[in-house]
Amino acid sequence: MRKLQVGLVGGGSWGTTVASIVARNTSITMWARNEETVKEINKKHTNKKYLPDARLPKHLKASHDLKEVVGDADVLIMGVPSNSFREVAKQIAPHLRPWVPVVSLTKGLERGTDMRMTQIIEDELPGHPVGVLTGPNLAREIMAGQAAASVIAMEDEIIVQELQKVFNSGLFRVYTNDDVIGCELGGVLKNVIAIAVGMGISLGAGDNTRSALITRGLSEITRLGVAMGGRPETFSGLTGMGDMLATCISSQSRNHHVGLELGKGRSIDDIIEEMVMVAEGVKSAPTVIKIAEKLGVEMPIANDVHEVIAGRITPEQAFYGLLKRKVGAEIEPD
């Protein structure tokens, strides 16, 4: 049997990392928008803009030709930011063969439609099995050879077990889950809480406060995630609590970095302008609050993050407002 041919769309840090992992198991070609990035990957086996210290597998190929990458793919992975996800999916549609599974790496929501990335795939690429790879995965640590765990979520039990073999490799352990909604939302919603934790640290919050923010933040995202159709137990696993911890405490987290800088009094525009990579929590915050209000889910931490990003309150007002908030039972009755 010939090896599966995998196509990956996206040349950022996480897309490049996933391509490197998959390259250990099967053939993969990744698409990058920037032609210089493509040349660097193929000739130097590096992607220094996003992974400055990493050496990529020599047999990992890159291409600037979307048709070439997509047309030959038996499995397609999408690792582009949420704001361009639909546009790229439209470009992919004419070239993708029927029934090819499509896996999203993107932890964001589409502004305007409130849709998850897997919903956009179903919208623009109907008839294709849809999944998501998500978890507490910091790209630089994985590329440095440190152990990590992730989850491949898809409703089809047979296909997800085959995809597990594509991604599982050495110290990168991949589990399966059929709760696509819950797994995907865990990856999206924790980004907003990570911004809150970063702000708190800049404002002098200690470990006690940070642990309280993370725990109460997990409670918030679980409430909203369940209201949106996810299963509660999913949010206590790798894609919920696991991803929340990694994003909230790591200096490598983009959203954590945004929170730290906001807490120093910097404007969101200045912070984003100097960043190479996308902090999805900034984009997702307005959509998260919109959905929460629509579903009647209370999310005080996420709401204050949204207000700070929008410039309506300061990080100090948000932080001390949360401390003064009325307390009730930790676990609300059903």
The string of pLDDT tens digits covering residues 64-100 is 999 999 999 999 999 999 999 999 999 999 999 999 9
Residue range(s) defining the domain that contains residue 281: 188-324
Judgement on whether residues 38 and 106 belong to the same structural domain of the protein: yes
**Structural domain ending residue among the three candidates 120, 151, 178:** 178
Q: 282 and 212, same structural domain?
A: yes
Residue 332 lies in a domain: no
Last residue of a domain, one of 137, 157, 178: 178
Per-residue model confidence as pLDDT tens digits over 265-274: 999 999 998 8
Q: Can you give the CATH number for the domain in which 104 is found?
A: 3.40.50.720
Whether 326 is catalytic? no
User: Would you say residue 123 lies in a domain?
Assistant: yes
Q: In this structure, are 192 and 167 located in the same domain?
A: no
Distance of CA 73 to the CA centre of its chain: 23
Q: Would you say residue 334 lies in a domain?
A: no
Task: Give the pLDDT of residue 273.
Answer: 87
Q: Cβ neighbours of residue 184 under 8 Å, at least 6 residues apart?
A: 104, 107, 116, 117, 118, 132, 134, 153, 239
Q: Which of 3, 44, 165, 190 is catalytic?
A: 190
263 found inside a domain = yes
Same domain, 239 and 118: no
173 & 207 share domain: no
* 79 and 198 part of one domain: no
Alpha helices in 228-279 (DSSP H): 243-249, 254-263, 268-273
pLDDT in tens, 107-127: 999 999 999 999 999 999 999
CATH code for the domain of 201 = 1.10.1040.10
With respect to residue 329, please indicate whether it lies within any of the assigned structural domains: no
Alpha carbon of residue 139 to chain centroid: 11
- Which helix (H) or strand (E) covers residue 253, if one does? none
User: Do 54 and 125 share a structural domain?
Assistant: yes
| pLDDT given for residue 277 in this prediction | 74
**Segment 143-180, tens digit of pLDDT:** 999 999 999 999 999 999 999 999 999 899 999 999 99
For the cut 80, the answer to whether the pLDDT of residue 2 exceeds it is no
Q: Identify the domain boundary among 125, 150, 178.
A: 178
Is the domain of 240 the same as that of 139?
Answer: no
Same domain membership, residue 46 and residue 108: yes
Q: Specify the pLDDT at position 323.
A: 60
Using pLDDT thresholds of 50, 70 and 90, give the confidence band for residue 334.
very low
Instruction: Give yes or no: residues 116 and 196 share one domain.
Output: no
Q: Domain for residue 164, yes or no? A: yes
Element holding 131 (H helix, E strand) = strand 130-134
The predicted structure's pLDDT at residue 333? 47
Residue 151 placed within a domain: yes
Same domain membership, residue 143 and residue 22: yes
The pLDDT of residue 125: 97
Work out how many domains the chain is built from and give that number: 2
Could you tell me the pLDDT band of residue 14, with boundaries at 50, 70 and 90? very high
Are 285 and 171 in the same domain? no
- Residue 139 inside a domain? The answer is yes
